[in-house]
């Protein structure tokens, strides 16, 4: 029997529209609901699970509450695991996939094929789902499933080209809020993930004279120190001064505050990025992650050592960083145009 820990309370939280099973909601479990998702949101009920699967799912949620993972990772694992269990309860699998390693492997492989073929999920999304299920089974005490990851396309992640970068930077400069300008600069100039950005506290800033640095907290206890680009340093210094007059600034350690004086949420930060991207005339797919990719690709293609870039990004695997050296769609188009 798995030793997950305590029982959980279930909450409904909105999912992205491209969710695997088409559900608009997932359950988030924790003895403290804010530890996984923040304030619960209203909406339709998630995909139902039978009694046994619902119990297994709730127990896994309780274990996630104490796991050394970011809130975003917990939400993702909770969502993907529920999707897997919803599929598993109607799938035809020999043996008990929740307790038998052989049945587990067979089930996860079949689910992988289901996601890639019938659902049409992108390889990266499928691999994220497999990582969640690996965590689920590891916490049940029977280890990760023997299932290969989906092959990723042999091209670099999406980034902003030079023209789009200029449009983005002009829109940031024109934005009236010093808080939002500082926040928008962190993925682009420091390679910070959006969850890492809202996790920053004022004590993570180290600015003196004409230099500056910031300590970024990744998943678990991982931390990295990133030098501040002069433009980002100036924006953060201006926001730090204006922050003193915001509600709650004396009580909250958070660098980025919302209008009520609490820590800005991931959703709030995402909306700020989306608003600036819209003002720049860029698409809805211009997210903080695309800005982080742009930061990484600029350094790699500029000749920076991959080990240095990996350290700045907080990548645990060098192969992840090496992906930014792969050809882009623009590189392929340029190559074809060389033909007479």
Cα separation, 140 vs 47, in Å, equals 22
- Residue 143 is given by DSSP the state -
In tens, the pLDDT along 193-246 reads 999 999 999 999 999 877 899 999 987 778 999 999 999 999 999 999 999 999
Cα gap 236→143, rounded to integer Å: 44
Tokens of 85: 């269990």
Work out the number of other CB atoms within 10 angstroms of the CB of residue 33. Answer: 18
Q: Give the N- to C-terminal CA distance of the chain in Å, as an integer.
A: 67
- Report which of 61, 107, 99, 112 is spatially closest to residue 82, judged by C-alpha positions: 61
Domain boundaries, the chain: 9-140, 162-334
Asked whether the whole model's pTM tops 0.85, one would answer no
The model's pLDDT over 77-90, given as tens digits with 9 standing for 90+, comes to 999 999 999 999 98
Give the pLDDT confidence score for residue 31 in this predicted structure.
Answer: 31
Asked if the model's pLDDT at residue 21 lies above 70, the reply is: no
- DSSP string computed for 153-194: PSSPPP---HHHHHHHHHHHHH-S-HHHHHHHHHHHHH---H
Least confident of 89-98, 261-270, 311-320, 323-332: 323-332
Nearest to 30 by CA among 76, 65, 74: 65
pLDDT at 266 over 80: yes
CATH class of 162-334: mainly alpha
């Amino acid at each position: 029997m798995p030793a997950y820990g305590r029982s959980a309370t279930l909450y409904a939280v909105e999912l992205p529209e491209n969710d695997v099973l088409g559900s608009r909601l997932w359950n988030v479990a924790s003895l403290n609901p804010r530890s996984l998702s923040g304030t619960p949101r209203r909406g339709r009920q998630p995909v139902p699970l039978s009694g046994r699967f619902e119990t297994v799912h709730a127990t896994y949620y309780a274990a996630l509450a104490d796991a050394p993972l970011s809130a975003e990772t917990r939400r993702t694992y909770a969502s993907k695991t529920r999707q897997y269990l919803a599929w598993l309860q109607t799938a035809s699998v020999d043996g008990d996939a929740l307790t038998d390693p052989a049945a587990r492997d067979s089930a996860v492989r079949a689910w992988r094929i289901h996601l890639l073929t019938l659902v049409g999920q992108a390889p990266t999304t499928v691999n994220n789902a497999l990582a969640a299920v690996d965590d689920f089974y590891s916490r049940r005490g029977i280890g990760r499933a023997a299932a290969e990851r989906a092959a990723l396309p042999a091209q670099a992640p999406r980034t902003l080209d030079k023209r789009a970068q200029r449009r983005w930077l002009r829109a940031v400069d024109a934005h009236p809020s010093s808080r939002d300008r500082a926040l928008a600069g962190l993925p682009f100039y420091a390679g910070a993930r959006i969850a890492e950005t809202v996790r920053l506290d004022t004590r993570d800033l180290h600015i003196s004279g004409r230099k500056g640095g910031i300590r970024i907290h990744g998943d678990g206890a991982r931390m990295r120190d990133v030098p501040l680009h002069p433009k980002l340093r100036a924006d953060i210094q201006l926001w730090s001064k204006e922050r003193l007059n915001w509600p709650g600034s004396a009580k909250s350690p958070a660098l980025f505050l919302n209008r009520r004086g609490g820590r800005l949420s991931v959703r709030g930060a995402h909306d700020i990025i989306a608003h600036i991207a819209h003002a720049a005339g860029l698409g809805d797919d211009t997210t903080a992650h695309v800005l982080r990719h742009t930061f990484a690709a600029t350094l790699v293609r500029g000749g920076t050592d991959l080990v240095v870039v990996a350290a700045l990004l907080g990548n645990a695997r060098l192969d992840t960083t090496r992906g930014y050296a792969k050809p882009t769609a623009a590189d392929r188009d340029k190559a074809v145009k060389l033909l007479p």
